[in-house]
């Protein structure tokens, strides 16, 4: 009798457990699905795509000047040739000169043929007499020649102009966001993405050849003048609305 009673109690316990699992498992499953769905679901973004553009002029107040120096020197002069050329370049025009090429070739006479290229940046008022000064400093066995004069912007000028263009673009974007939020008060637009595109700066043609010859004939009226380079920055902008 006791054994049969125990078996009945065991069967009843099993049935109770099965009933509880079948009754509550749908709730647990539903809660689990709801929790997973809520973690995956994100607010829908209403996007607005538009383009904006800004341009600026880069004024080059200095010019890049390139000088060719050809000289015949002996072995004793060779050791100090680099320093001597820099001293003579300072006589040509006081500036921060850089020697960008220094080639030496032996000749049949036992001398060394030096071909040197140097460059610097000079202000507009320092250019009027540079050709005449180069000719004056030239002598047999050593010649100074102005290779080119180009009013092209420095890296500092370019980066400063780009910074200003980006600030202009940001102001345009802020204005667009303000207008959208006024027109659609139920939305709250913010910047989602900005892609910048720069155009290539149109470089001025170096002043050499015929132009430089014309300058030598009339160095006063043909002084090179400051030129400007146009830089344009475009932006593809994506604005998106988010929950307040």
User: Could you give the number of structural domains in the chain?
Assistant: 3
Lowest pLDDT segment from 40-44, 193-197, 228-232: 40-44
What is the structure's pLDDT at 38? 46
Comparing CA positions, the residue from 195, 193, 196 lying closest to residue 47 is 193
Tell me which of 134, 150, 166 is where a domain ends: 150
Parallel, antiparallel, or unpaired for β 62-73 and 112-123?
antiparallel
**Helical packing angle, 130-137 and 210-217, nearest 10°:** 90
Are residue 15 and residue 74 in the same domain, yes or no? Answer: no
Domain range holding 204?
47-59+154-241
pTM here is 0.60
Mean pLDDT (whole number) for 144-170: 92
Are residue 211 and residue 160 in the same domain, yes or no? Answer: yes
Residue 24 reports pLDDT greater than 80 = no
Are residue 114 and residue 159 in the same domain, yes or no? Answer: no
Tell me which of 150, 179, 203 is where a domain ends: 150
Measuring CA to CA, how many Å separate 128 from each of 60, 96, 205?
A: 17, 18, 18
Are residue 225 and residue 174 in the same domain, yes or no? Answer: yes
Are residue 93 and residue 129 in the same domain, yes or no? Answer: yes
Are residue 171 and residue 204 in the same domain, yes or no? Answer: yes
Per residue in 69-86, pLDDT (tens digit) is: 999 888 888 888 899 999
Are residue 144 and residue 162 in the same domain, yes or no? Answer: no
C-alpha span between 60 and 227 (Å, rounded): 6
Query: Taking a C-beta distance cutoff of 8 angstroms, is the pair 244, 60 a contact?
Result: no
Mean pLDDT (whole number) for 196-207: 63
What is the structure's pLDDT at 78? 81
What is the structure's pLDDT at 18? 45
Are residue 222 and residue 237 in the same domain, yes or no? Answer: yes
Tell me which of 132, 150, 168 is where a domain ends: 150
Q: How many CA within 13 A on the CB side of residue 137?
A: 23
Query: Could you tell me which residues are beta bridge partners of residue 64?
Result: 121, 150
Are residue 72 and residue 177 in the same domain, yes or no? Answer: no
CATH of the domain at 103: 3.30.70.360
Are residue 27 and residue 54 in the same domain, yes or no? Answer: no
Are residue 136 and residue 168 in the same domain, yes or no? Answer: no
Are residue 23 and residue 142 in the same domain, yes or no? Answer: no
Higher-confidence residue of 39 and 144: namely: 144
């Amino acid at each position: 009798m006791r054994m049969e009673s125990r078996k009945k109690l065991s069967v009843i316990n099993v049935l109770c457990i099965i009933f509880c699992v079948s009754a509550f498992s749908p709730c647990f499953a539903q809660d689990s699905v709801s929790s997973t769905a809520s973690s995956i679901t994100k607010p829908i973004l209403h996007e607005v795509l538009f383009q904006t553009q800004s341009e600026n002029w880069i004024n080059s107040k200095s010019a890049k000047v390139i000088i060719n120096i050809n000289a015949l020197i002996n072995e004793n002069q060779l050791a100090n040739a680099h320093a001597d050329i820099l001293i003579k370049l300072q006589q040509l025009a006081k500036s921060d000169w850089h020697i960008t090429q220094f080639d030496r070739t032996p000749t049949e006479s036992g001398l060394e043929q030096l071909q040197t290229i140097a460059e610097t940046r000079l202000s507009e008022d320092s250019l009027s007499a540079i050709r005449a000064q180069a000719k004056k400093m030239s002598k047999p066995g050593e010649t100074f020649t102005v290779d080119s004069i180009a009013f092209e912007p420095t890296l500092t000028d370019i980066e400063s102009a780009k910074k200003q263009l980006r600030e202009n673009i940001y102001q345009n974007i802020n204005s667009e966001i303000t207008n959208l939020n006024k027109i659609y008060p139920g939305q709250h637009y913010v910047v989602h993405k900005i892609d910048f595109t720069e155009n290539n700066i149109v470089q001025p043609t170096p002043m050499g050849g015929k132009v430089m010859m014309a300058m030598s004939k009339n160095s006063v009226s043909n002084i090179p003048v400051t030129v400007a380079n146009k830089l344009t920055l475009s932006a593809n902008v994506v604005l998106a609305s988010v929950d307040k």
